[in-house]
Amino acid sequence: MGRERKKPACSAGFLRVVVTGQRPDPPTYDARAARRGGAAAAWTRGAAFATFARAIERGLDFLYLCYDNEGYANTGQQYSPATPHAARTATSSGRQGYPGYKKDLFDIWVAHRPVYVATAIASEPLDLARKIAKAKTLKGPRLVIALAPCPPGWDFEPQDTAEIGRLAVKSGIWPLKEYADGAVTHTLIPHPRVPVEDYLKRQGRFAHLFEPARNDEMIRDIQARVDAYWAKVA
């Protein structure tokens, strides 16, 4: 795990040597920082972010693609800074699920004023393709966060992956937006929004909210937080 935390810093240092010419005849590098798998979104929100903050402040030219499956899936789907409130994981298996709240990586990056930040999901392929294409035309620190529904980690059948992704957007739980030129723009506003429980009840990680007894208080709390977000957008 120590090596994982150092990757962004090592990459930044390597590029600095190449770009500043501190080696003979530096070649041209196409620098990409792409992460996938269970720990990507978690490390990006946690221990690894300090190195990203320094890279953003230095204006390092890189495009980071964050594959967000909302947990430490590579070690058995434990909860992480990317895990949503109330989700059950291998390490939050109690009656209430995960007691914490998902860290908003989009807002964390925006606070550092990079060149570009966007959220995306494969269930909306045109939106995803447009954002990747746009990010590739820019120079400087860039981030695309792609929500990645995970059948084994979220406990649903693989054939339901696309539909669960669409419900994440339709319910308003996963806003599709981008930050560029100092402003945030929502690229798809769900209207009308479907209830969050349409999204939650399709996943085994939230089954305890509905069986053996329905947890109306928790469901209302999740819905209220989503409603509050979109009220600010309006």
Is a pLDDT exceeding 60 seen at residue 32? no
What is the rounded distance in angstroms from the CA atom of residue 142 to the CA atom of residue 56? Answer: 9
- Can you give the pLDDT at residue 16? 56
Is a pLDDT exceeding 50 seen at residue 3? no
Quick one: what percent of the chain has pLDDT higher than 70? 79
Tokens 């789907």 correspond to what residue? 77
The mean pLDDT value of the chain amounts to 85
Choice among 16-30, 36-50, 109-123, 185-199 with the minimum mean pLDDT: 16-30
| Confidence category of residue 95, pLDDT binned at 50, 70, 90 | confident
- Can you give the pLDDT at residue 79? 87
pLDDT digits (tens, 9 = 90+) for 165-180: 999 999 999 999 999 9
**Edge-to-edge strands of the sheet including 32-35?**
32-35, 62-68, 141-147, 116-121, 176-180, 183-188
Average of per-residue pLDDT across 91-110 = 92
- Can you give the pLDDT at residue 36? 44
pLDDT digits (tens, 9 = 90+) for 75-88: 788 888 899 999 99
Q: Which residue has the higher pLDDT, 209 or 9?
A: 209
Q: What is the DSSP letter of 115?
A: S
CA atoms within 13 A on the CB side of 101: 9
Domains and CATH numbers, the chain: 29-233 (3.40.50.970)
Instruction: Please check whether residue 32 is in contact with residue 61, taking contact to mean a CB–CB distance below 8 angstroms.
Output: no
Is a pLDDT exceeding 50 seen at residue 38? no
